[in-house]
């Protein structure tokens, strides 16, 4: 082969490598994984005792500090770069503390990470989404509050107004310090209906400080496991890849550790005290015989 042919081949190979590298870089997205650490699969509080938001928040922060880092270590170097915090999240009629983890990775790896978190914390679903998607069939509507003013109490209050306006039992949101993000996934609502309902809820807010953004593209998926049928988390394990059984065995250790923590947390929750009844009248004095 001539020197000119070799040079041409080298240039072609270099171009292919550059193209492959660019394609790989384009596949990286800024994914956000949102999940809770309690589910109906865990031990439940005593009858008549409902845990408060603050009590669940304390458990969630303990899980973020003591369980989530070990999940990341088990999954590898990509996961350890995740940045996580506890913020409010809501679905159906509940607003609960949730862990929101942000990291830049591929869609396939984000699915694997979401499945691992759902597996360890026995969740029926973990949502993963990319707000910077330029094209998608799904849309999200963001509700913006004044900077760093969105507390769990405010989120719960607005979520109640939104549920009343939209009448959907599949409505959900995730939150930042200043924004509630409503992703229109499996809600049964059109994008326009979702935005209009949120706008009506904002009009009911006593202060004119809420801004409803128009629907924007979002790339989002629900990574799910039906624990009623897949009792060992098989739906999640399918996302683990060729080393699925080995990875599942390692994650089961963390799953059992979290199960134990939830049982101790539930045992600490005392049943409600009965309301005090009316005070009984003192008995009449007994007749004393005369001396």
> What is the band of 80 on the pLDDT scale with cuts at 50, 70, 90?
confident
pLDDT at 280 over 80: no
How far CA 178 is from CA of 140, 158, 162, 186, in Å, comes to 16, 13, 17, 25
pLDDT at 1: 53
Reported confidence tier of residue 78, pLDDT bands at 50, 70, 90: confident
Comparing 63-77, 142-156, 222-236, 261-275, which segment has the lowest mean pLDDT?
A: 261-275
Mean pLDDT computed over 97-121: 97
DSSP 93: T
Q: What is the pLDDT of residue 48?
A: 83
Is pLDDT of 178 > 50?
yes
pLDDT at 278 over 60: yes
pLDDT surpasses 90 at 272: no
Long-range CB contact pairs, 60-67, < 8 A, 24+:
60/36, 60/86, 60/97, 60/98, 60/99, 61/86, 61/97, 62/261, 63/37, 63/99, 63/121, 63/258, 63/261, 64/99, 66/261, 67/37, 67/120, 67/121, 67/254, 67/257, 67/258, 67/261
Residue 3 has pLDDT above 50, yes or no: no
108 token code pair: 């396939």
Three-class SS of residue 96?
strand
Average the pLDDT over 163-189 and give the result: 95
The fraction of the chain above a pLDDT of 90, given in percent, is 77
Average pLDDT, the chain: 88
Tell me, rounded to whole angstroms, the distance of Cα 275 from its chain centroid.
36
Whether the predicted pLDDT of 5 surpasses 80: no
| Among 165, 224, 175, 218, residue whose Cα is nearest residue 195 | 165
Which tokens hold the place of 124? 């029926």
pLDDT surpasses 70 at 132 = yes
- Per the model's pLDDT, the better-predicted residue between 116 and 26 turns out to be 116
- How confident is the model at residue 262, as a pLDDT? 97
- Asked if the model's pLDDT at residue 287 lies above 60, the reply is no
CB 60 within 8 A of CB 98: yes
pLDDT at position 291 is 44
List, for residues 11-33, the tens digit of each pLDDT value. 434 443 433 443 344 579 999 99
* Averaged pLDDT, 211-237: 97
As assigned by CATH, the class of the 137-217 domain is alpha beta
The DSSP H or E segment spanning 180 is strand 179-183
DSSP 3-state of 194: helix
Q: Does residue 284 have a pLDDT over 80? A: no
Evaluated on CA atoms 83, 88, 91, 95, the torsion sign reads positive
Q: What are the residue ranges spanned by the domains of the chain?
A: 24-131+218-269, 137-217
pLDDT above 70 for 197:
yes
């Amino acid at each position: 082969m001539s020197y000119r042919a070799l040079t041409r081949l080298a240039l072609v190979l270099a171009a292919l490598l550059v193209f492959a590298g660019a394609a790989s870089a384009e596949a990286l997205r800024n994914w956000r994984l949102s999940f809770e650490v309690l589910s109906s699969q865990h031990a439940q509080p005593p009858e008549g005792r409902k845990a408060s938001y603050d009590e669940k928040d304390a458990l969630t922060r303990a899980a973020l500090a003591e369980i989530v880092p070990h999940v990341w270590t088990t999954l590898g170097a990509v996961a350890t770069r995740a940045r996580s915090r506890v913020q409010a999240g809501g679905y159906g009629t509940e607003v609960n503390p949730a862990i929101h983890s942000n990291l830049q990775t591929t869609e396939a790896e984000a699915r694997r990470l979401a499945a691992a978190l759902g597996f360890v914390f026995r969740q029926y679903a973990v949502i993963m989404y990319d707000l910077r998607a330029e094209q998608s069939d799904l849309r999200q509507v963001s509700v913006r509050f004044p900077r760093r003013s969105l507390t769990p109490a405010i989120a719960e209050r607005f979520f109640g107004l939104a549920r009343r306006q939209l009448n959907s039992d599949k409505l959900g949101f995730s939150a930042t310090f200043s924004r509630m993000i409503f992703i229109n996934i499996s809600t049964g609502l059109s994008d326009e209906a979702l935005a209009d309902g949120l706008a009506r809820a904002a009009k009911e807010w006593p202060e004119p400080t809420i801004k409803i953004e128009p629907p924007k593209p979002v790339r989002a998926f629900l990574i799910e496991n039906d624990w009623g049928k897949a009792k060992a988390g098989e739906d999640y394990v399918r996302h683990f890849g060729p080393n699925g059984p080995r990875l599942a065995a390692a994650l089961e250790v963390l799953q059992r550790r979290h199960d134990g923590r939830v049982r101790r947390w539930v045992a600490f929750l005392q049943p409600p005290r009965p309301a005090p009844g009316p005070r009984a009248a003192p008995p009449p004095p007994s007749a004393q015989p005369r001396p």
